[in-house]
Amino acid sequence: MMFDLTTAQLIAGQPRRDGTATFTSVTPRTRVPGTHVFANATQAEIDDAVAQAEAAFEQTRHFPAARLADFLDRVAAEIEALGDDLIALADEETALGSARLTGERGRTTGQLRKFGALLREGSYVEAIIDTALPDRTPAPRPDIRRMLFPLGPVAVFAASNFPFAFSVAGGDTASAFAAGCPVIVKAHPNHPATSELVGHAINRAIAQAGFPPGFFSLLHGDRIDVGQALVRHPGVGAVAFTGSLRGGRALFDAAAQRPTPIPVYAEMGSLNPVIVLPGALAQHGPQIAEGFAASVTLGSGQFCTKPGLLFLIDGPQADDFIATVTAQMASATPGALLNAAIERGLAQTVEHTLAQPDVTLLAGGSVVEGAPFCYAHTVMQTTAAAFRANPDLQHEHFGPATLIVRCQSQADLLGALDALQGNLAAAVHAAPGESDSAAPVLARLREKAGRLIWNGFPTGVEVVHAMQHGGPYPATTTPRTTSVGMTAISRFLRPVAFQDVPDALLPDALKDANPLGIWRKVNERFTRDAVTRV
């Protein structure tokens, strides 16, 4: 290994190890514990990390956007400088494979640079100016100007299934940094060594940029109380989480019970339903079946956008489609799961689903014995009536498993969709002549999901301005925000309005002359022009 590991907390750039409760990662392919022993963060270490973040925020909340952008570019370059050692270590801890991890690293560094570009463009502050109307009757209107400012220190909880893109320097951290907020990352215990390497890269970028060291800290822990203590700390201003419904809800409840509640932006899993209408089934059934099976099993089904539900209207072509999906799933070799908890959780959830009335197992349904954590590709089916009546059929199966819902008619399908809970994404497959049938389906799904896909599959997201990776509860705690794409920055910004404040005392984004040259909404019109006061 090119870089030495401290196996300590990294608090404001310095290693610290007070705790005695220890843990290691476990290699998924062999079930063998890792050689690097990490300690759970103590309350004193958490207190220190938050205090350092609060001190850093006193400086960084005033940093110009260009300075923050340069820092994000430095972080991306330092991660790339870790080279193949980072990929090898991440593969050892996750078994995700070098090709997948190399691509994910590129996504991670790419989104850091995209946030830098967003900062340089500048309109993310949403500057709005309504100039005074002194002659308005019956009362004059004051000059009011509004823009967004950083919220404060952010606690980021890394995900198990994305050791780069939703981890130490992932989208939550990148968007919080871009907002000017210090970040305290709670590393995922699946990949603590990988997390430390990335943490060192961030600290090198902080030193190069001349940022206060408390702008970033990294805490470790495999116990619930570490995360709970971080969320309850009065110095933390917001929380970002990617993981299970149980974990996200626990953090949300802890934050709500604080004397001063704070926002928790939790992504907590999703079923991502796919609806295949009869015309699409008739024209492209085999191709859709192949794509669906590939989407369910991609990454061993360990994506939050994996399609865990499929809705069909009964008929001979539906029978053929289900047989094709089942055969494709059963014939493919299952891959390694990330850890024992995922394997155990999937086995328990599938067992619970199969115990429900009117649910049939078509393939899989068991742990695959052998060295890796592994579960058989699993296909189950039920009826629309059973789905409507039983909320237990909407538990997420995190792994290579899916449930097919057979509907007797279009009306039966629409009734089943009405019973859907919140999801991150949903997909509709329809033939060119099925617009009349597809319209009410899309209308229902719009109320149930944050992203709608036409003739495609939900697996995968694009890091672009228009991406929406969020949805109604229980997919997330805050359906109006996204955790992927450039608008994710808005989670860590808050609006402040200035009324009749002299130009010299205003932030640059709100000054009359528009010295930043950004797009602003002035008197209900977007413009880069200067403002003339009355």
Give residue-wise pLDDT tens across range 9-32.
999 999 999 999 999 999 999 999
Q: Is the pLDDT of residue 528 over 50?
A: yes
Cα angle 271, 277, 278 (rounded to 5 degrees) comes to 140
User: Which is nearest to 243 in space by CA: 338, 158, 345, 341?
Assistant: 158
The answer, yes or no, to whether the previous bond of 138 is cis (omega within 30 of 0) is: yes
Q: What is the mean pLDDT of the segment spanning 26-53?
A: 97
How much of the chain exceeds pLDDT 90, in percent? Answer: 98
Q: State residue 89's pLDDT score.
A: 96
pLDDT, one tens digit per residue, over 130-146 is 999 999 999 999 999 99
Using CA atoms, how far apart are residues 354 and 374, in angstroms rounded to an integer?
A: 19
Q: State residue 269's pLDDT score.
A: 87
pLDDT, one tens digit per residue, over 66-94 is 999 999 999 999 999 999 999 999 999 99
Q: Is the pLDDT of residue 399 over 60?
A: yes
Q: State residue 141's pLDDT score.
A: 97
Using CA atoms, how far apart are residues 395 and 466, in angstroms rounded to an integer?
A: 29
Q: What is the mean pLDDT of the segment spanning 389-402?
A: 97
Q: Which of 181, 304, 374, 407 is catalytic?
A: 304
Q: What is the mean pLDDT of the segment spanning 308-314?
A: 98
User: Active-site residue 304, yes or no?
Assistant: yes
Q: State residue 261's pLDDT score.
A: 97
Q: What is the mean pLDDT of the segment spanning 498-508?
A: 98
Cα 40 to its chain centre, rounded Å, is 24
Q: Bridge partners of 383?
A: 406
What does the block give as tokens for 233?
């700390």
Strands lying side by side in the sheet with 525-527: 493-499, 144-150, 128-130, 520-522, 525-527
Q: What is the mean pLDDT of the segment spanning 209-227?
A: 97
Q: What is the mean pLDDT of the segment spanning 497-517?
A: 98
User: Active-site residue 447, yes or no?
Assistant: no
Q: State residue 4's pLDDT score.
A: 79
Q: Is the pLDDT of residue 1 over 50?
A: no
pLDDT, one tens digit per residue, over 408-441 is 999 999 999 999 999 999 999 999 999 999 999 9
Using CA atoms, how far apart are residues 266 and 249, in angstroms rounded to an integer?
A: 8
Confidence band, pLDDT 50/70/90 cuts, at residue 161: very high
**CB half-sphere exposure, 450, CA atoms < 13 A:** 28
Q: State residue 272's pLDDT score.
A: 98
Is 524 exposed, middle or buried, given 0-12, 13-18 or 19+ CB atoms closer than 10 A?
Answer: exposed
Using CA atoms, how far apart are residues 227 and 249, in angstroms rounded to an integer?
A: 12
Distances 158 to 34, 218, 242 between C-alpha atoms, Å:
19, 11, 7
Q: What is the mean pLDDT of the segment spanning 51-76?
A: 98
Q: Is the pLDDT of residue 208 over 90?
A: yes
The pTM for the full model equals 0.96
